[in-house]
A and B are shown apart, each in its own frame.
Chain A
Amino acid sequence: MSHASTSVQDRPVPTPPAPVSSLSSRTLPRLAPLGFAVVSIALGVGIGAAAGWHSRVQWGLLSALLFLTISYVATSVVENKRQAKDRLATSLVWVCFLIAVVPLASLLWTTISRGSERLDGYFLTHSMAGVLGPEASGGVYHALIGTLEQVGIATLISAPLGLLTAVYLVEYGKGALAKAVTFFVDVMTGIPSIVAGLFILSIMLIAGLEPSGLMGALALTILMIPVVVRSTEEMLKLVPNELREASLALGIPKWRTILKVVLPTAIGGIATGVMLAIARIAGETAPIILLVFGSQLINPNPFEGAQSSLPFYIYEQYKIGEAASYDRAWAAALVLIAFVMILNLVARGIARWKAPKTGR
């Protein structure tokens, strides 16, 4: 059969014009975007240098614009309009991603490189007692203790409160009361930290109380509760209703169903939410300035006397304005970022450990 056909087609057949296939068409090589990026960065740097622009930001933005244009034009010439739009969208996503990541990476890099100069065991275990601004000694111990205690107290108060509020909203709440609670939680999310601080300050003045770590912790509580409520609420809503029904149908009372079935299923996400809320309040400065007053001395008692805290310490050292104090501020910033980072890792660990298991 095939033999016969070859003999028929023995004479030279005119090569058909480019195969008119409906499924395949010309495509750019897979690494083309990388090439576009290299070309546009080179162009951006070249034009920027030639025009004598000082700001590297301008060079970067020009490169980004060139990258978008080149990808779009090249793709629409080689491939087609639809592919070009697709490429444009992809490139835009990449450019936005890079623009978002650059400041973050730069911030991390600066903090680590400048903070690690002063960060050592001595820095972590000594306070600023008797240390004058320009002296290159002193440490962060008193501020670290302050942050741990204030954040700890705030968490002890707001985690149970927030958790129970979320349980109420998801499992029990209906009607006007639940709507009102949701509304006020939303409003609380937007409270500036200085306002929370002023609120506690006014109570402090009325009740004739002295500044202490506890007062700062109370202001942090106001900031933390709505975050905990919000995240816990979302996590509880993710628990399938079938699990609640399965439990109720076994004759398990509703409160035990919530305690033993709903909460364990969502505990990973709830823990992550609480940790993120802690990370948020750990960096608050304003309420601490108002309510904890700041101190150079180690004061392990959060219920009496002034304390310090990491963000307050950074602010204080920056204000001194000496080379040695700048170094201390950067090192303290690094400690604060490390603290938040560790909390995040712990939260991820808990989430993975507690996540509903699927393995055999």
Chain B
Amino acid sequence: MAKRIDISGLSAFYGSHKAIDDISMTVEPRSVTAFIGPSGCGKSTFLRTLNRMHEVTPGGRVEGKVLLDDENLYGSNVDPVTVRRTVGMVFQRPNPFPTMSIFDNVAAGLRLNGSYRKNALADIVEKSLRGANLWNEVKDRLNKPGSGLSGGQQQRLCIARAIAVEPDVLLMDEPCSALDPISTLAIEDLIGELKERFTIVIVTHNMQQAARVSDRTAFFNLAAVGMPGKLIEIDETERIFSNPSVQATEDYISGRFG
């Protein structure tokens, strides 16, 4: 059940430091939206505001609205735990739980939320691992620890773990930056399949990757070091990479700065 995200007037702070300033955009359902921009421009911070992970950081604070199909994530009665069940996240470095087996890692979200039927668990785990294109590689060693897998497999395990709880949106924070080109390819293919079912937002430093996997691309930039990051423009990926409407975007994409 993919959902649309409407962000309006969103600013995020670390203590008194403003990291991103007044961002408004719409993320379309059943599509891949890529965030690109130089380091420190607040892409990851912005991504983390979309499932209320930003406030986990000490001093993290958010102003503005994020509407998930007309429901404000920052409304006064909204429980961040429920938000995170609806909006899943995959991190930069693969982080399977080291004390758990492959099976338990995928089942972790359901088990620890307490919302599952016991006999359905094995099916959900298999479905999620198939969904992450990992089933064939691990089906004979589901009881082995997840940390014994290779980096690319671990990252797909983390994706399986994230989709097992059936979120509406999947956030990916540079999911391939710690991986080799072959694992990257596997994950990019996977993103292409997952967008049939989820709304996907991906942060990437790799512009070819943004061009390959995304439908729409948002370019972020900051005026100077220490200044808050801003959204420069968001458009169809094809347009951003061929004929962007802002000069800074073209400069960044063509490698003239950044």
Q: Could you say which residues of chain A place their CB within 8 Å of the CB of B66?
A: none
Q: Could you say which residues of chain B place their CB within 8 Å of the CB of A249?
A: 51, 53, 84, 88-89, 91, 162
From B97, B141, B148, A247 is in contact (CB under 8 Å) with: B97
Asked whether, in the complex, the Cβ of B98 is within 8 Å of the Cβ of A250, the reply is: no
Question: What does the 1/0 interface line of B86-117 toward A look like (CB < 8 Å)?
Answer: 10110101010111000000001100110000
Asked whether, in the complex, the Cβ of B97 is within 8 Å of the Cβ of A265, the reply is: yes
Asked whether, in the complex, the Cβ of A174 is within 8 Å of the Cβ of B58, the reply is: yes
Asked whether, in the complex, the Cβ of A251 is within 8 Å of the Cβ of B113, the reply is: yes
CB < 8 Å A-B pair total: 88
Q: Does B223 sit within 8 A of A, measured CB to CB?
A: no
Question: What does the 1/0 interface line of B101-138 toward A look like (CB < 8 Å)?
Answer: 00000001100110000000000000000000000000
Q: Does A129 sit within 8 A of B, measured CB to CB?
A: no
Asked whether, in the complex, the Cβ of B89 is within 8 Å of the Cβ of A243, the reply is: no
Q: Could you say which residues of chain A place their CB within 8 Å of the CB of B113?
A: 250-252
CA gap between A244 and B109 in the complex, in Å: 13
Asked whether, in the complex, the Cβ of A252 is within 8 Å of the Cβ of B144, the reply is: no
CA gap between A187 and B86 in the complex, in Å: 46
CA gap between A174 and B88 in the complex, in Å: 28
Q: Does B24 sit within 8 A of A, measured CB to CB?
A: no
CA gap between A356 and B98 in the complex, in Å: 5
Asked whether, in the complex, the Cβ of A243 is within 8 Å of the Cβ of B95, the reply is: yes
Q: Does B81 sit within 8 A of A, measured CB to CB?
A: yes
Q: Does B147 sit within 8 A of A, measured CB to CB?
A: yes
Q: Could you say which residues of chain B place their CB within 8 Å of the CB of A243?
A: 95, 97-98
Closest Cβ neighbor of B96 among chain A residues: A246
Q: Could you say which residues of chain B place their CB within 8 Å of the CB of A257?
A: 112
CA gap between A245 and B99 in the complex, in Å: 16
Closest Cβ neighbor of A260 among chain B residues: B112
Q: A253-B81, A357-B148, A360-B144 are in contact. Are A248 and B53 (CB under 8 A)?
A: yes
B 210-243 contacts with A by CB, 8 A:
none
Question: What does the 1/0 interface line of A59-91 toward B look like (CB < 8 Å)?
Answer: 000000000000000000000000000000000
CB distance from A338 to the nearest CB of B (A): 32
B 1-55 contacts with A by CB, 8 A:
51, 53
Asked whether, in the complex, the Cβ of A358 is within 8 Å of the Cβ of B147, the reply is: yes
Closest Cβ neighbor of A360 among chain B residues: B148
CB distance from B133 to the nearest CB of A (A): 20
Question: What does the 1/0 interface line of A332-352 toward B look like (CB < 8 Å)?
Answer: 000000000000000000000
Asked whether, in the complex, the Cβ of B109 is within 8 Å of the Cβ of A251, the reply is: yes
Q: Does A95 sit within 8 A of B, measured CB to CB?
A: no
Q: Does A240 sit within 8 A of B, measured CB to CB?
A: yes
In this complex, the interface size class of chain B, counting residues with CB under 8 Å from chain A, is 20 to 34
CB distance from B121 to the nearest CB of A (A): 15
Q: Does B195 sit within 8 A of A, measured CB to CB?
A: no
CA gap between A249 and B87 in the complex, in Å: 8
Q: Does A152 sit within 8 A of B, measured CB to CB?
A: no
- From B58, B95, B108, B141, name the one whose CB has the most chain A CB atoms within 10 angstroms: B95
CA gap between A326 and B62 in the complex, in Å: 72
Q: A247-B97, A250-B109 are in contact. Are A357 and B145 (CB under 8 A)?
A: yes
Q: Does A256 sit within 8 A of B, measured CB to CB?
A: yes
CB distance from A261 to the nearest CB of B (A): 6
CB distance from B6 to the nearest CB of A (A): 21
Asked whether, in the complex, the Cβ of B95 is within 8 Å of the Cβ of A246, the reply is: yes
Q: Does A135 sit within 8 A of B, measured CB to CB?
A: no
Closest Cβ neighbor of A256 among chain B residues: B112
Q: Does B158 sit within 8 A of A, measured CB to CB?
A: yes
Asked whether, in the complex, the Cβ of A251 is within 8 Å of the Cβ of B158, the reply is: no
CA gap between A174 and B95 in the complex, in Å: 26
Closest Cβ neighbor of A252 among chain B residues: B112
Q: Does A17 sit within 8 A of B, measured CB to CB?
A: no
Q: Does A242 sit within 8 A of B, measured CB to CB?
A: yes
Asked whether, in the complex, the Cβ of B85 is within 8 Å of the Cβ of A357, the reply is: no
Q: Does B65 sit within 8 A of A, measured CB to CB?
A: no
Q: Does B76 sit within 8 A of A, measured CB to CB?
A: no
- From A249, A250, A256, name the one whose CB has the most chain B CB atoms within 10 angstroms: A249
B-to-A contact residues, CB < 8 Å: 51, 53, 56, 58, 81-86, 88-89, 91, 93, 95, 97-99, 108-109, 112-113, 141, 144-145, 147-148, 158, 161-162, 165
Given A249-B162, A250-B88, A356-B99, output 10 extra A-B contacts at Cβ < 8 Å.
A240-B95, A242-B93, A243-B98, A246-B97, A246-B161, A250-B85, A250-B109, A251-B83, A251-B165, A357-B145
For the complex of A and B, 10 pairs with smallest distance between CB atoms? A251-B85, A356-B98, A357-B145, A250-B109, A249-B89, A360-B148, A251-B84, A242-B95, A264-B99, A252-B112
Contact sample, A vs B, 29 pairs, CB 8 Å cutoff: A174-B58, A240-B95, A242-B95, A243-B97, A245-B56, A246-B95, A246-B97, A247-B108, A247-B112, A248-B84, A249-B84, A249-B88, A250-B88, A250-B108, A250-B161, A251-B83, A251-B84, A256-B112, A257-B112, A260-B108, A260-B112, A261-B108, A265-B97, A265-B99, A354-B99, A356-B99, A358-B147, A359-B144, A360-B148
